[in-house]
Amino acid sequence: MLKTIDPLLGPDLLWLLAAMGHGDDLAVVDANHPAETIARATISGRIVRLPGLAMAEVVRAILTVLPIDDFEPDPIRRMLVVGDAAAVPAVQKEVEAAVAAARAAPVPLPGLERFAFYTAARRAFGVVQVGDARPYGCFLLRKGVIAG
């Protein structure tokens, strides 16, 4: 246990976050996602599994230590609902609220079509698979910098 580090952030996840560089994406995906297959294609080839947790609580914990890229217009993206791109499922609304709280302002979460999301996730640094089984709980978070 470490002071001020959220207990959801175990050593494997902390390593993954620390090893990422500026501009690297982290795929944070739900229990339905083909995470093992996607993770093998990522830069690190690593997957961190967090069973039994809700997506928003994991994203909230990650955002306590991960700076989000301010140089890109869309540093956080979500998977669009197949057949209804305008739909925003509850899991995505919850993550949007967690992001807004962490950034102290509303942040739009633009969407990627399902297969475009899979392609982008393969280019990510690594994958975090959350035990949340609600569909379309899939996000890409782009790492920013910590100003010195």
Return the active site residues. Answer: 22
How many angstroms separate the CA atoms of 59 and 37, rounded? 22
Separation of CA 146 from chain center? 19
Phi-psi domain of 71 (left: phi exceeds 0; alpha: psi -120 through 50; beta: other)? alpha
